[in-house]
């Protein structure tokens, strides 16, 4: 599966300034693995050393937060859009 990944401002320098990149995988975990494999600078930023999602990172598949789906096991389909966003204060 090929998905489009939208990167937040803070991660763009690790991908040569790109706002969106494509990545491969059948789950969110695999997509992030493929992303980090290609842009090693992102590794400590998105995942913890234990391999779970960083506390201040939200990942969405087509606008749905994966923490409330199947976390890193959330399935993706060809053409899905995956967005990575920092957790910030609202309100």
Ligand X SMILES: Cc1ncc(COP(=O)(O)O)c(C=O)c1O
Contacting residues toward ligand X, per CB under 6 A: 90-91
Cross-strand bridge partners of residue 27: 75
Residue 4: name its binding partner from ligand X, other proteins, none (Cβ under 5 to 8 Å by kind).
Answer: none
Question: What is the CA 35 to chain-centroid distance, rounded?
Answer: 8
CB of 90 to ligand X, least distance (A): 6
- 51 belongs to the binding site for other proteins (CB under 8 A): no
Segment holding 54, helix H or strand E: none
> In b/e form, how buried is each residue of 30-65, taking b as 16+ CB within 10 angstroms?
bbbbbbbeebeebeebbbeeeeebeeebbbbbeeee
- 80 belongs to the binding site for other proteins (CB under 8 A): no
Residue 87: name its binding partner from ligand X, other proteins, none (Cβ under 5 to 8 Å by kind).
Answer: other proteins
Residue 58: name its binding partner from ligand X, other proteins, none (Cβ under 5 to 8 Å by kind).
Answer: other proteins
CB of 40 to other proteins, least distance (A): 16
């Amino acid at each position: 599966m090929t998905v489009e990944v939208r990167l937040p401002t803070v991660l763009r320098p690790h991908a040569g300034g790109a706002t969106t990149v494509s990545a491969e995988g059948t789950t969110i975990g695999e997509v992030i693995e493929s992303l980090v494999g290609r842009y090693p600078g992102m590794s400590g930023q998105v995942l913890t050393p234990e391999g779970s999602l960083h506390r201040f990172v939200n990942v969405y598949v087509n606008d749905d937060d994966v923490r409330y789906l199947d976390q890193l096991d959330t399935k993706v389909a060809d053409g899905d859009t995956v967005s990575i966003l920092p957790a910030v204060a609202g309100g």
